[in-house]
């Protein structure tokens, strides 16, 4: 695993570059990706066809390598669905709210965002010793393992459960937030969401 200090340095460089290239990104979306029906934010190794895929990691197959804190280069009311899995926790909460506002702006009427996140309740189970967690480091105590799970070697900036997510989604302007079943969504193919997670649908 690359140390978070190096990732922070990379992000410091990528953020202003993403801002500077935003007009180019908008042009690319209009010219080459206008027929894509959805967005995937933080695609990682899972590229979704028929979606515009964004990721900060240039080693992954993606349509745009950019820092999403710079904004979404996507027109208003232009996509049916936005999907993101295990990405929002890598942002500070104010950055997460700003990104959710951007997502709401891009959704068509009747569209929604499917958001999957590590579940804080899973960390509580780890802390109580009900289950173990040795990623990314091995700790001997349940509390140490829970902290390890929550912060993930400094990669995670915040933690969520459904109620917490509901609060910030309302702040971002979403009108309805619903619990969603893991690995089941008619608009997002081939889901592979882990059992330590929870999913929600956010409607404008």
Helix, strand, coil distribution of the chain in percent, nearest 5: 40, 20, 40
At 76-117, the pLDDT tens digits run 999 999 999 999 999 999 999 999 999 999 999 999 999 999
pLDDT band at 10 (very low <50, low <70, confident <90, very high): confident
Beta strand residue intervals within the chain, DSSP E: 38-41, 51-55, 64-65, 79-85, 107-118, 176-180, 197-203
- Check: CB of residue 44 under 8 Å from CB of residue 57: yes
Give me 130's structure tokens: 């009900």
**In this model, does residue 6 exceed pLDDT 90?**
no
* Measured distance CA(33)–CA(89) in Å, rounded: 27
- Cα–Cα distance measured from residue 21 to residue 70, given in angstroms and rounded to the nearest whole number: 10
> DSSP letter at 77?
T
Give pTM, 2 decimals: 0.95
**The pLDDT value given to residue 8:** 84
The pLDDT-based confidence of 2 (bands split at 50, 70, 90) is confident
Asked if residues 176 and 153 have their Cβ atoms less than 8 Å apart, the reply is: no
- What does the pLDDT look like over 183-193, one tens digit per residue? 999 999 999 99
Q: Where are the domains of the chain?
A: 4-117+160-203, 120-158
Q: What was the pLDDT predicted at 182?
A: 98
Looking at the DSSP assignment, which residues form a beta bridge with residue 183? none
Contact (CB, 8 A) for 22 and 70: yes
What is the tens place of the pLDDT at every residue in 45-56?
Answer: 999 999 999 999
Q: How far apart are CA 67 and CA 157, in angstroms?
A: 15
Q: How far, in Å, CA of 34 to CA of 50, rounded? A: 10
Residue 1 has what pLDDT? 65
Distance CA 184, CA 63 (A): 24
What is the CATH number assigned to the segment(s) 4-117+160-203? 3.40.50.150
| Range in 98-102, 138-142, 164-168 with the lowest mean pLDDT | 138-142
Report, as an integer, the average pLDDT of 5-13: 86
Q: Give the model's pLDDT for residue 170.
A: 98
**Average of per-residue pLDDT values in the chain:** 95
């Amino acid at each position: 695993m690359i140390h978070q200090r190096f990732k922070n340095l990379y992000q410091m460089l990528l953020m202003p570059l993403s801002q500077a290239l935003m007009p180019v990104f908008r042009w690319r979306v209009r010219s080459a990706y206008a027929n894509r029906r959805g967005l995937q934010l933080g695609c990682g190794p899972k590229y979704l066809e028929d979606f515009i895929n964004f990721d900060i990691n240039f080693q992954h197959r993606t349509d745009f390598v950019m820092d999403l804190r710079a904004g979404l280069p996507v027109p208003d009311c232009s996509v049916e669905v936005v999907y993101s899995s295990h990405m929002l926790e890598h942002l500070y909460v104010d950055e997460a709210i700003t990104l959710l506002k951007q997502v709401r702006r891009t959704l068509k009427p009747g569209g929604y965002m499917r958001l999957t996140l590590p579940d804080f309740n899973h960390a509580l189970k780890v802390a109580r010793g009900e289950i173990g967690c040795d990623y990314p480091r091995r700790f001997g105590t349940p509390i140490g393992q829970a902290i390890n799970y929550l912060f993930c070697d400094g990669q995670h900036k915040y933690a969520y459960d459904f109620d917490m997510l509901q609060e910030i989604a309302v702040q971002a302007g979403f009108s309805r937030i619903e619990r969603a079943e893991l690995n089941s969504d008619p608009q997002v193919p081939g889901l592979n969401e882990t059992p330590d997670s929870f999913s929600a649908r956010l409607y404008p």
